[in-house]
Amino acid sequence: MVTVETVHAELAVTDPRDVALYIEKFEGFAAAAVSGDAMRSMVEEIRDQFLREQEIG
């Protein structure tokens, strides 16, 4: 079973084919996730780029 929370409702998905789709998506997100020092570096790089753009604009 997969529980999906939206802005206005909570869905319970139980069909095995639908659950498999959610598992596939979750695994993709987990594979792309960044944490620890790599995450901090990425956020700092985004912050620095944003601040440079603010100085130019």
Q: How many CB atoms lie within 10 A of CB 19?
A: 13
Q: What is the pLDDT of residues 29-47, one digit of tens each?
A: 999 999 999 999 999 999 9
Averaged pLDDT of the chain:
96
In terms of DSSP H, where are the helices of the chain? 16-32, 36-56
| pLDDT greater than 80 at residue 57 | no
Sign of dihedral through CA atoms 16, 21, 22, 23? positive
